[in-house]
Amino acid sequence: MRLTAKEYENLIEFSPNLVWRTQADGRFDYFNKTWLQFTGRSLAQERDEGWHDCVHHEDIDRYRKIFQAALEDRKPFQIDYRHRRHDGQWRWTHSRGAPLYDEAGEFVGFVGISLDITERYEREQSKDSALLDGLTGFYKRMYFEQRVEEEMKRAGRDRTSFSIILVDIDNFRAINEKHTHKAGNKVIKGVSKIIRENIRGHDIPARMGGDEFGVLPEISRKEAIKVAERLRHLIEDAVVSFDRKPIKATGSLAVTQFNNEVDAAQLIHKAGRLMFDATNAGGNLVRAA
C-alpha cells in the first residue's frame, strides 16, 4: 500500500534527521521540525540565507562555494561544517543535497538532510591526530600514500582512472635564507590555506614533506589540471607578510593520471619527476601526464 501525501509529510516533518529544501534559484524555503528544534529558530528566521547565521564563520564561504557549484551543475553534493545548536554549542554536521525534479522532468531545486556527527568527528580527529602534520593540519605522506593505494585498487576493480596533484614551493630555500625559518613556515601555512580552500571537503590534502604538498581529488585528469592551474595562479598572487615585509612565492605543480602503476610510490614518483621538470623550467608552471 502506498503512503498518502500526508503520511509522507509527517515522515519528513518528524524525521530524526534535519531536512531542508531549496527552490530552483537556490533559495532555501523549507526546514523540518527537527531542524527548527535543533537551531531553536523559526522557519521565517531560517528561510533564504537566514540559516547562515548559525553556520561557523570559518565554514560558511566553503559551504556557499560547494552549494553554488552543485546548483550550477545540478549535481549532488556533501559537506561537513559547524552548525550552532539552540544551546550555543557548535556541532559538526554532515550535509548531503541532491537535485529535485518534478513529474515533467523540470529541475525545481535541491532537497537534503543534515546529520549531527560531532561524536564521530571527534573520535576520528583523535584517531587521525597522529597522521596530521602539526604546521598545516594536512595529512602526512604515509596516510596520503595509503589513500592512493586504496584508490588504485578501486580503479583497477572498476576499470576507472584518477589523478593526483603535487605542489612544490619554488625557491623555498632562498625564502628561508632571506627571511628566516619562521617566515618560511608562514609561507607554508599560506600555501596550505590556499590548497584547503580550493579543493572539496572530501578531497585528501597532504604535506608530503618540507615545502611539498599532495592532493588526491576524486575528479578527472582534465578537471585536476584546472584545479592545479587555479592553485598556481592563487599562489602566485598571494602575499605573506612577515616582520612587516611582503613575501611572494610561486609553485611548481604536477598532475599525474593513474596508468596501471604498481603502487603509490611509483605513481607519486612519476608526479615528482613532472614537478621537478616544472621547477627546472623556471617554476610557476603546471606539468601533466
Query: Tens digits of per-residue pLDDT, 3-28?
Result: 676 776 778 888 899 999 999 999 99
Three cell numbers, residue 174: 632562498
What does residue 125 show for φ and ψ, rounded to 5 degrees?
-65, -40
What is the model's pTM?
0.59
Identify the DSSP state of 289.
-
Model confidence at 76, pLDDT cuts 50, 70, 90, reads very high
Model confidence at 128, pLDDT cuts 50, 70, 90, reads low
Query: Tens digits of per-residue pLDDT, 194-235?
Result: 999 999 878 899 999 999 999 998 788 899 999 999 999 999
pLDDT, the chain, mean: 92
Please tell me whether residue 208 adopts helix, strand or coil conformation: strand
Residue 254: C-alpha distances to residues 54, 118, 150, 236, 284 (Å)? 39, 36, 21, 16, 11
pLDDT at 122: 81
pLDDT at 124: 75
Please tell me whether residue 88 adopts helix, strand or coil conformation: coil
Residue with the bigger pLDDT between 118 and 218: it is 118
Please tell me whether residue 76 adopts helix, strand or coil conformation: coil
User: Residues 44-51: what's their mean pLDDT?
Assistant: 96
Identify the DSSP state of 47.
T
d(CA 203, CA 226): 15
Residue with the bigger pLDDT between 276 and 11: it is 276
Three cell numbers, residue 272: 615528482
Q: Which domains does the chain have, with CATH numbers?
A: 5-123 (3.30.450.20), 132-288 (3.30.70.270)
Query: Tens digits of per-residue pLDDT, 163-179?
Result: 999 999 999 999 999 99
Strands of the 139-140 sheet, one edge to the other? 139-140, 204-209, 212-216, 163-169, 251-257, 286-288
Model confidence at 127, pLDDT cuts 50, 70, 90, reads low
d(CA 186, CA 176): 10
Query: Tens digits of per-residue pLDDT, 228-254?
Result: 999 999 999 999 998 889 999 999 999
In the block, residue with C-alpha cell 529535485: 100
d(CA 161, CA 152): 8
